[in-house]
Amino acid sequence: MDDPVDNKPPTFWQMLHSVMAAAFGVQSNKNRARDFTHGKPSHFVILGILFTTVFALTLFGIVKLVLLLAGI
């Protein structure tokens, strides 16, 4: 990953990685410092909402599939 001292904002993939890592509670201090220093809060909020929605829909789909295969 890039050095948090860099003055470049995080890329989309770095922000997505940060959102996923934060969702599971494994965010590194280096990435957190980069996000708080150079990232825009609105980008992280939008990505967080999208990630949560996709995660919930994925779980919903898995449960529906398992119930369908179980014949319930």
Query: In Å, how far are 7, 16, 37, 59 from 52, measured between CA atoms?
Result: 29, 12, 24, 11
Question: Is the pLDDT assigned to residue 64 strictly greater than 90?
Answer: yes
pLDDT digits 0-9 by tens, 2-25: 555 567 888 999 999 999 998 888
Please tell me the pTM assigned to this model.
0.74
CB 48 within 8 A of CB 19: yes
**Which two tokens mark 35?**
């996000």
The pLDDT tens digits of the residues spanning 34-60 come to: 888 888 889 899 999 999 999 999 999
Which pLDDT score is estimated for 62?
A: 98
Match 């599971």 to its residue by tokens. Answer: 24
